Structure 1
Amino acid sequence: MTDMSSPETPPSSPTPAFTGAVPTDALAAAAGAEGPQRTSRKAVVAWGLWDWGSAAFNAVVTTFVFTVYLTSSSFGPSGTVEAQLGWALAGAGLLIALLAPITGQRSDTSGRRKLWLAVNTYIVVAMTAAMVFVAPDPSYLWLGLLLVAAGNVFFEFAGVNYNAMLSQVSTPRSIGRVSGFGWGMGYVGGIVLLLIVYFGFIQGLFGVPDDDGWPVRLAMVVSAVWFGLFALPVLFAVPEYRGSGARRERVGFFASYARLGRDIARLWRESRPTLWFLLASAVFRDGLAGVFTFGGVLAASVFGFSAGEVIIFAIAANIVAGVSTIAVGALDDRLGAKPVIVAALVGLVISGLLVFFLHDGGQIVFWTAGLALCLFVGPAQSASRTFLARIIPPGREGEVFGLYATTGRAVSFLAPTMFALFVAISGEAYYGILGIVLVLLAGLLLLLPVRSTPSTLSS
């Protein structure tokens, strides 16, 4: 782990423009009161363990195991079940887009950020455990879809509060390393859990009957326990966020939307680079999600990977992504987040094009170019989070990360739509790769004009 225990004094910086009615001197006082003067290794590790545990939902439920099981022939004809999964996730995305900024805003004003992290996390744990009841029969499809969709909603809500805690466990000089450490922990946690699932359930080491979907169904129970256990340290080691004297008055639910509208309008008037970054990151983050969402599908349908081989590739992908994310965190602190994001997106576009043009080369192409894609995904995700965290006024983290989640979900249809469109037009699954590459390229082009110097992000 990168050394994050040395004393650091945060450099003074101009107050971000979208501070509403909060005066500058109050914000400066809040920054000193709420942000740590040095990085606590204990708090960072506890915070990172939530990411480690969250791999149970990210890697096992939504990417490589449960959704693959749910779209198998046991639940209906190919093409139909995938479409139904898409609609279920689209509905979840709409709810997140509508509610995420409000839940984040209210966690800031209530001073209960950690409480809502706990509530939302353990709802996800319960949803994951309930997947044990989804038997391989078409009559159970909608139960599975409901659990996946609801799990996505509450996982995103938990993520809003989790991301907002980044400023509580890091300093301005260590935020890149801390964020990279968290993302890296998520990937490493995914590796360990996928190994348990592969050898214990898929290969039968645990003696689970290989019928009626029990290997996958029982793996969901283990995944729920995994997330539940590793989510506990952050709840004990990181103090509850209590806000500050600069904290804005709490308002009613519907009034929160009026406040959100005023904040977006203020961003447009006073800090357009921030608003443009939210837009650009929404697009390229959807492309990043598409890389993992459709990676397993492409491995199986285009390159002939078996279910076991998909999991083996997933383990390798998590290793590559985890190592690169942790390593690049230091560069984020030295060079800034934008150069890291730009370099990662360029690498993703090139790697994606290699997968497309060389697809006839067989599995070796997917192993090499596919892992190259994974090399760049984590750094782009982590640096995107730190870019935003550096410019959020103290006491507004949950609100702005809620807006971050909302903008991401507002365009969450892009990668699935482009993937499906290219496949439908060409009749070949590998053309879907081009759709994802175009989304990543669009995000890159939107990001390039965004300046990240303090003068453009501050009043």
Structure 2
Amino acid sequence: MDTAANPPEHPPADPASATPTASVTATASASASATATASATATDGAALRRMQFAWYINDWAYAAFSATVLTVFLGPYLTSIAKNAADASGDVHPLGLTIRAGSFFPYTVSFSVLVSVAVMLVAGTVADRTGRHKELMCGFAYVGALATMGMFFLGGDRYLLGGGLLVVANIAYAVSVALSYAYLPGLAGPDQRDAVSSKGWAYGYAGGGLLLIANLALFEGHDALGLSSGTAVRICLASAGLWWALFTIVPMLRLPSRAGVAPDRTAAAAGRPTAGSLRELARTLRGMREYPLTLLYLGAFLCYNDGIQTVVSQASLYGSEELGMDQTSLVAAVLLVQIVAIGGALLLGRIAGRYGAKRTVLGSLVAWVFTLALGYFMPAHQPIWFFALACMIGLVLGGSQALSRSLFSHLIPAGKEAEYFSFYKVSDRGTSWMGPLVFGLAYQITGSYRSAIISLLVFFVIGFAVLAKVPVRRAIEAVGNPVPERL
């Protein structure tokens, strides 16, 4: 406390009794206090910037898995391996089931997401009770990185090995990302969260794009290096795991263990953290019913983000199987998405600053509908149109997700950030099994990837309709948070 600005509650009865020496001492003490306060503030600001940077680098690290593995290389490669193992009818039989080889990848993604929902809920509540968000986040990151590096050993007809590694890596990825979201409320105030969230997404696209440039160079030059195309793809897959593991060192060293968890809650975790976390999960579920508008927003996000995730994960499969794009064109298109998305995330953040996050997200959903329509009518074997589609996806991809995340941060009751962000990520991952399932079923029934891609329109239409009905201002007031100037 600065005593010059805040005089003592009980000053000396006789002012004359204050000697010059005492006066000098008091002044020096006040000056030292003010200097210490200023120094502490500067140190806190520097520490916050270091934590923000570490959080951005975490996006940089795990985005390589999403871009290189899920979006570009694994879909077509695992599908080709499944086709190698297929019978005369073009079917494979994992665990005694009969499915088209072309549906194996989306079905596997769908299964992995279903399992990840349960794992995320338990991991999130354990993290809340123990205060070990960073340890769990980095631990799952390294499990996912190792599984991704193991994809180097795919080949021939080992589609079951590929499916198993994909399930492990995708579950670990989901849990690690969910735990990283819990840091956002502690890294930025209400007026800065759109910017910090958007910057995190931009870092992710930059990191994923940089690795894709290296992978594109490797794949294009595989003949000169004496590598087969399959070997080049396997190296690219493994490189994403290595990238993820290396850059996770930064958040592991710089982020605090606890992400927005009250200190007294960790003491209650002693003894049986998992059992206690399940009880905490049940209490949180019951408590969420007190905020139906927050749940309504989660329902809207649950729908439209499922469409977004499915477009991202199935785009390379659609491009290769339906549009006849070669691997070079696929990598170049996804690289274009990464580059455009950096500017798109920052651009939509600026638009949200002028028109509000909700209006901006609604506008982005309309753009997603036009993007799917373009993909449906797009002629095959025309890379220029495929690149145009990539640009459209990049413009709206990062901004719609970054703004959804920051908008949700206003709808969380104070002191419940970590718990609610766990549920937010569950809604992020929890329905993205439905999109791949619908996509796979549409192809199973029609044999056309065009029908599969247009079937995803339902997620954007329903998501738009539900989000439009959410009274965001009233929802923020209901949880007791200050209302931002623009919504």
TM-score normalised over the length of structure 2: 0.79
SS of corresponding position for 1:305? coil
1:173 to 145, 168, 191: 191
- In structure 2, what is the Cα distance between the partners aligned to 1:146 and 1:162? 25
**CA 333–161 in structure 1, closer or farther in 2 if over 3 Å, else same:** farther
Structure 1 equivalent of residue 281 of structure 2 = 260
Give how far 1:56 is off: 2.1
Structure 2 equivalent of residue 353 of structure 1 = 373
Q: Deviations over 1:93-150 (max 9, x none)?
A: 222221212211221221111111111111111111111122x211x21111111110
Structure 2 residue identity aligned to 1:50: N
TM-score normalised over the length of structure 1: 0.84
Structure 2 equivalent of residue 438 of structure 1 = 458
- Deviates further, 257-266 or 160-169: 257-266
Structure 2 equivalent of residue 3 of structure 1 = none
Q: What do you get for the CA RMSD once the two structures are aligned?
A: 2.6
Structure with greater contact order relative to length (CA < 8 Å, sep ≥ 6) = 1
SS of corresponding position for 1:72? helix
- How is 1:185-264 mapped onto 2 (pairs within 5 angstroms)? 185-204=203-222, 207-210=225-228, 213-241=230-258, 243-245=261-263, 247=265, 249-250=268-269, 252-264=273-285
Give how far 1:342 is off: 0.9
**CA 422–125 in structure 1, closer or farther in 2 if over 3 Å, else same:** closer
**CA 318–458 in structure 1, closer or farther in 2 if over 3 Å, else same:** same
Structure 1 equivalent of residue 480 of structure 2 = 458
Q: Deviations over 1:343-374 (max 9, x none)?
A: 11111112212332454794433322342133
Structure 2 residue identity aligned to 1:262: R
- In structure 1, what is the Cα distance between the partners aligned to 2:131 and 2:213? 39
Q: Deviations over 1:257-286 (max 9, x none)?
A: 343233223222x21111111121111111
Contact 1:160 1:398 in 2 (8 A): no
Give how far 1:84 is off: 2.9
Structure 2 equivalent of residue 107 of structure 1 = 127
2:314 to 281, 294, 305: 294
Structure 2 equivalent of residue 414 of structure 1 = 434
Structure 2 residue identity aligned to 1:265: R
**CA 177–206 in structure 1, closer or farther in 2 if over 3 Å, else same:** farther
- In structure 1, what is the Cα distance between the partners aligned to 2:74 and 2:314? 14
**CA 234–389 in structure 1, closer or farther in 2 if over 3 Å, else same:** same
Structure 2 residue identity aligned to 1:66: L
SS of corresponding position for 1:458? coil
Over alpha carbons, which structure has the higher Rg? 2
Structure 2 residue identity aligned to 1:42: R
- In structure 2, what is the Cα distance between the partners aligned to 1:369 and 1:209? 31
Contact 1:103 1:399 in 2 (8 A): no
Query: Gaps spanning 5+ residues in structure 2: where?
Result: 1-40, 92-99, 482-487
Q: Deviations over 1:45-100 (max 9, x none)?
A: 22111111212210111120123211115643466334333343333222222121
- In structure 1, what is the Cα distance between the partners aligned to 2:234 and 2:408? 38
Contact 1:344 1:380 in 2 (8 A): yes
- In structure 2, what is the Cα distance between the partners aligned to 1:302 and 1:346? 24
Contact 1:178 1:329 in 2 (8 A): no
Question: Number of residue pairs matched?
Answer: 421
Query: Gaps spanning 5+ residues in structure 1: where?
Result: 1-32
Q: Deviations over 1:229-265 (max 9, x none)?
A: 2222222223332733564743643453343233223
> Identical aligned pairs, as a percentage?
24
Contact 2:336 2:390 in 1 (8 A): no
Structure 1 equivalent of residue 401 of structure 2 = 381
Contact 1:317 1:374 in 2 (8 A): yes
Structure 2 equivalent of residue 50 of structure 1 = 58
Structure 1 residue identity aligned to 2:235: L
Give how far 1:402 is off: 1.8
